[in-house]
Amino acid sequence: MELRPLESFLAVISAGSVTAAARAIGRSQPVVTRHIQELEAEIGFDLFTRNGPRITPTERGLRFHAEVERLITGMKQLSERAAAIANSAPLAIEVAAIPALATGLLPRAFSCVHDSLMPQTAHIRSAPAEQVVQSVLARNADLGVASLPLDHPGIEIIRLYKANCVAAIPASHPLARRDVIAISDLGGLTLIGMANPFRLRHRVEAALAEASVSVGRVISTNATVTALQLVRNGVGVAVVEPVTALGLPLDGVVIRPLDVGIPFLWGAVTALHAPRSETVFALLASLDAATRDLLPDAEILDPGNDPQRLAEASESVSQPASRR
């Protein structure tokens, strides 16, 4: 299987049409069309459905796209690393992180890495936690940073971080005048929160249930930034992780602690037994420093030095909130 047809396939998926794909990668439209036809003949299934000039990826085509994207990304990384080895330079680094950490914490961490340890090429990819884990498992990411749970036999948690969630309040709301928001203050209000029921959302719901608090309307989103923008526009109040809330402050949004501790836990992970470059170690130290700077009350655990505390912290993912 040749690379050029695969590149044409990725371009068509990305651009949405053969014409736009040909323009994007500097090839003629007939060449891109031929590449798609040859690829379909080789793999034995249709990548697109055709309706005149319009093409739509098939279900198999979308699944194949994920595999091709992983391959092409790996080839690019290999080329970059070969160049670094030839020049005795730091190896290129790929970091996969959930959006909250990719926007609220990683930029601070990268700014702390000494210039001598920064490679010529670095990639920060934002993805859901499940995709972060898969990227690390496939060795497409040197380091993953994602929220717990991170239970997988093929990855190693090399650092664990824990900080309490916060309340985001419109600046014009009466609650914005309070120093601490009681969980009971949320009763009857429109509550904005996270959509994933297996991560932060269930801990917020458990805290509300334990306090016998019934909110009004519930709006869920998969991104803290979206939740904060909804708060900014007066749609409601939010209970969110603190990294984005404090790392990307918004005018018109007031951030306050809650009177209950609703833990947000995240970890830095690598593939099990994978070698770690000096840049990875430096970035990990910078993540620690950035976390302490942004969240002075956060806990930082080294699983290698304290496996018992790691187990206790991980177990708290499924525990109810604690009263402060």
Q: Which residue has the higher pLDDT, 116 or 176?
A: 176
* pLDDT score recorded for residue 321: 52
Topology of domain 3-70, CATH:
Arc Repressor Mutant, subunit A (1.10.10)
Pinpoint the residues of the chain covered by CATH 3.40.190.10: 90-162+264-323, 166-261
- Strand ranges inside the chain, DSSP E: 48-51, 54-57, 93-97, 122-126, 143-147, 155-164, 166-170, 191-194, 218-221, 237-240, 253-257, 260-261, 263-271, 299-301, 322-323
State percent of the chain over pLDDT 70.
92
**Nearest C-alpha neighbor of 39 from the set 14, 68, 9:** 9
pLDDT tier for residue 253 given thresholds of 50, 70 and 90: very high
Task: Please determine, looking at this structure, whether the domain spanning 166-261 carries the CATH number 3.40.190.10.
Answer: yes
Question: How open is the CA angle 315-316-318, to the nearest 5 degrees?
Answer: 85
DSSP states along 172-231? TSGGGG-SSB-GGGGTTS-EEEE--TTTHHHHHHHHHHHTT---S-EEEES-HHHHHHHH
List pLDDT tens digits, range 78-125: 777 677 677 776 667 889 999 999 999 999 999 989 888 887 788 898
Buried residues in 55-84 as b, exposed as e (16+ CB within 10 A)? bebeeebeebbeebbeeebeeebeebbeeb
* pLDDT score recorded for residue 91: 67
* pLDDT score recorded for residue 318: 46
Task: Please determine, looking at this structure, whether the domain spanning 90-162+264-323 carries the CATH number 3.40.50.10800.
Answer: no
Cα separation, 75 vs 310, whole angstroms? 36
Mean of the per-residue pLDDT values of the chain: 88
Q: State both tokens at 181.
A: 């928001």
- Contact at 8 Å (CB) between 206 and 213? no
